[in-house]
Copies of this chain bind each other. A is one copy, B any other.
């Protein structure tokens, strides 16, 4: 039925060991033998069985990728980075969505280990103790992409969320705003609460501004969440004049809600977002945004994983990538100084 290494060996009058050597590029084969074997492989259309190979070698050249939701551009972008580097190093990817649900994450982890992946790249906005423990017990390396494990026990790739947020909020402060809203995604996400929110508070304090809890709102990181946030923030006595938005969609929701009420951006209110997806250029005004290097986070994570897989030495297993702030039209020039 299917042609095996054994068939090739027989046809080529060599042992299966030799065929294996040829297939795997082992040097211990005479060129003439190699040629002969290669010809038979061609003729028989032999295709090595990766499953058998995996069983024998204990390597599957497959890595697991667990992400919250591939249909969300943020994760999709990172996934592409992961896959590109994986391909470059001849790995395939088993991709699964966790919906940021701990039980799914746990069971996915288990499934993938059962499938004998050589390593795992994990994206999770909330690394719970249980999850962390599972990952630490993993027999194969795991790297966290764009995800925070505060204990720093696991390798990870991130940007300095605190610094980035601080800088963004500061732009707004520099532009003279006193009432700056903080609109973020769910506060169950580590990055939102431990980094962005903290940085926001620190920036205000450093500028001698009060932190008004009513200016802090959390919604789903969606367009509608942004609209919702704007409404909420505009029924308080003293609405904000500037917004820090945790994502592009949030920012666009805020802007459109405002515009629909005759408020002009950036003339009347200013908005800065955190993401800089391609959406940022596709709305008017175009979004000033902290550029999150999603693709790079994915790519570097995968590269880091390959280092572990190849037993290369890794200097620092918690990588911090640079970010920049893309200045466009939702924040006035002034701050450029």
User: A residues bordering B, Cβ < 8 Å?
Assistant: 2, 47-52, 54-55, 60, 62, 65, 69-73, 76-77, 79-80, 83-84, 87, 92-97, 110-116, 139, 223, 249, 252, 256, 259, 278-279, 281-284, 295
Q: Which of B70, B115, B139 contacts A2 (CB 8 A)?
A: B139
A70 to B110, CA, bound (A): 25
A110/B80 contact (C-beta < 8 A), A92-B96, A115-B62, A282-B249 known: no
Contact B92 A50 (CB under 8 A): no
Inter-chain CA distance A60–B79, complex, in Å, is: 23
**A249 CB → nearest B CB, Å:** 7
The answer to whether B110 touches A47, judged by C-beta atoms less than 8 angstroms apart, is yes
- Nearest 5 A-B pairs (CB), nearest first? A71-B80, A95-B95, A50-B115, A76-B76, A51-B54
The 16 sampled A-B contact pairs (Cβ below 8 Å) are A47-B110, A50-B114, A50-B115, A51-B51, A51-B55, A51-B115, A70-B70, A70-B79, A71-B295, A76-B76, A83-B95, A87-B96, A223-B281, A259-B284, A279-B279, A279-B282
For residue A283, which residues in chain B have a CB less than 8 angstroms away from its CB?
282-283
Least Cβ–Cβ distance between A251 and chain B, in angstroms: 11
Given A115-B50, A115-B92, A283-B282, A70 and B80 touching (CB < 8 A)?
Answer: yes
Return A107 CB to nearest CB of chain B, in Å. Answer: 10
Question: Judging by beta carbons under 8 Å apart, are B83 and A97 in contact?
Answer: yes
Docked complex Cα distance between A21 and B19 (Å) = 36
A323 CB to closest chain B CB (Å) equals 19
Say how far A97's CB is from chain B's closest CB, in angstroms: 6
Give the chain B neighbours of A70 by CB distance below 8 A. 70, 76, 79-80, 83
Please tell me how many copies of the chain the complex holds. 2
B279 in contact with A62 (CB, 8 Å): no
Instruction: Report the Cα distance A92→B97, complex, angstroms.
Output: 11
Q: Which of A65, A93, A259 has the most CB of B within 10 A?
A: A93
Contact B92 A94 (CB under 8 A): yes
Chain B residues near A115 (CB-CB < 8 A) = 50-51, 62, 92
Which residues on the B side are within 8 Å of A49 (C-beta)? 55, 114, 116
> Given contacts A92-B111, A252-B282, A282-B223, is CB(A77)–CB(B71) below 8 Å?
yes
Which residue of B has the minimal Cβ distance to A110? B47
Cα distance, A73 to B116, chains bound together (Å): 30
Partner pick for A97 among B80, B112, B116, B256, CB 8 A cutoff: B80
Name the B residues within 8 Å of A73 (CB-CB).
Answer: 71, 73, 76
Q: Contacts A51-B55, A92-B115, A256-B282 given; 17 further ones with Cβ under 8 A?
A: A47-B114, A49-B55, A50-B115, A52-B55, A65-B95, A71-B73, A71-B79, A71-B80, A73-B73, A76-B76, A80-B97, A87-B97, A92-B94, A92-B96, A92-B112, A93-B95, A95-B95
Name which residue of chain B comes closest to A112, CB basis.
B92
Bound-state CA distance A97–B49 (Å) is 22
Minimum Cβ distance to chain B for residue A44 (Å): 14
Return the contact of A256 from the options B80, B83, B111, B284 (Cβ within 8 A). Answer: B284
Residue contact A116 to B51, C-beta cutoff 8 Å: yes
